[in-house]
Amino acid sequence: MAPVLKVHELCKAFGAACVLNGLSFHMRQGEVISLVGSSGSGKSTALRCINFLETPSSGEIELMGDAVSAIQNERRETKIVNSANIKVFRRRIGMVFQNFNLWPHRTVLENVTEALIYVLRKRKREAEEVALFELSKVGMAELKHRYPSQLSGGQQQRVAIARVLAMRPKLMLFDEPTSALDPELVGEVLKVIKTLACDGATILLVTHEIRFAREVSNRMIFLHKGIVEQDAVPEELFRNPASEAVNRFLSSVISTAA
């Protein structure tokens, strides 16, 4: 089967600082990949480049056979080729952020129906049906009339996940979905992500929850200095770290998690 996502030689510089230096990896349908690495290693930038929230300096992203390339000339100016596909990418990719990003003045239900009505042009009744279906998957249907400020962080994140699911994405990106949560609320969000993984969703997950990553991922990609340092099944990464950097990272996260 052809990969769902191909990231090829992705580079991103902010001014003189090169954050991504030729990042390449593939994802198949139904695969769960955790992107790990120390803080500042470019994980968020990689996710943001994949759905073009950030414009790559150079490289190519291919999603289900459609590609967008960034080509740099000798003056380091970037030209985007096939930019019309960016819109297609955004329709197919759902992203869950660390800070939930719910609309504060909309109820739970309205947060989920918003894009269904205004982007997918669904009628309100149909949008609400879809929204309630997804909200019940994450255990939030009963609180549909609440506002985000009336919810815990864990509940807000579950609504944010339902909002993404309602758009039926082909690929889900999670950027540290539990790192803004109080420790006792982390589990409820991880449980939802695990259910999605078991149901066959294709998930690219950035997380510090290393035990969870190990348990839920088909592969783990360790990012270091803006490139893939190791791309392996979890057991292999833990048993046989490819470099001192991987080793150091694993030791530090395991000792803090203990």
**Smallest gap from residue 249 Cβ to ligand ADP (A):** 11
CB half-sphere exposure, 249, CA atoms < 13 A: 25
Given Mg ion, ligand ADP, none, residue 42, with its beta carbon under 5 to 8 Å by kind, binds: ligand ADP
Q: Are 27 and 3 in contact (CB under 8 A)?
A: yes
CA angle 164, 111, 54 (to 5 degrees): 50
Taking the C-alpha atoms of residue 240 and residue 220, their distance in angstroms, rounded to an integer, is 13
Nearer to ligand ADP, 23 or 127 (CB): 23
Piece of the chain touching ligand ADP by CB under 6 A; list 36-44, 58-66, 95-103, 108-116: 36-44
**Smallest gap from residue 14 Cβ to Mg ion (A):** 14
Nearer to ligand ADP, 112 or 223 (CB): 223
x/- binding map, residues 165-204, to ligand ADP, per CB under 6 A?
Answer: ----------------------------------------
Helices (H) and strands (E) in the chain, counts: 9, 11
Contacts with Mg ion in 183-242 (CB under 5 A)? none
Q: Does 41 engage in binding with Mg ion (CB under 5 A)?
A: no
Rounded-to-10 torsion of CA 142, 109, 50, 187 = -20
**Smallest gap from residue 44 Cβ to ligand ADP (A):** 3
**Smallest gap from residue 151 Cβ to ligand ADP (A):** 26
Q: Are 173 and 204 in contact (CB under 8 A)?
A: yes
Taking the C-alpha atoms of residue 132 and residue 122, their distance in angstroms, rounded to an integer, is 14
Contacts with ligand ADP in 39-98 (CB under 6 A)? 39-45
Taking the C-alpha atoms of residue 71 and residue 59, their distance in angstroms, rounded to an integer, is 7
Strand order through the sheet with 32-36: 93-96, 171-175, 203-206, 32-36, 219-224, 227-232
Among 34, 44, 57, 178, binds Mg ion (CB under 5 A): 44
**Smallest gap from residue 175 Cβ to ligand ADP (A):** 7
Q: Which residues bind Mg ion (CB under 5 A)?
A: 44
Q: Which residues bind ligand ADP (CB under 6 A)?
A: 14, 19, 37, 39-45
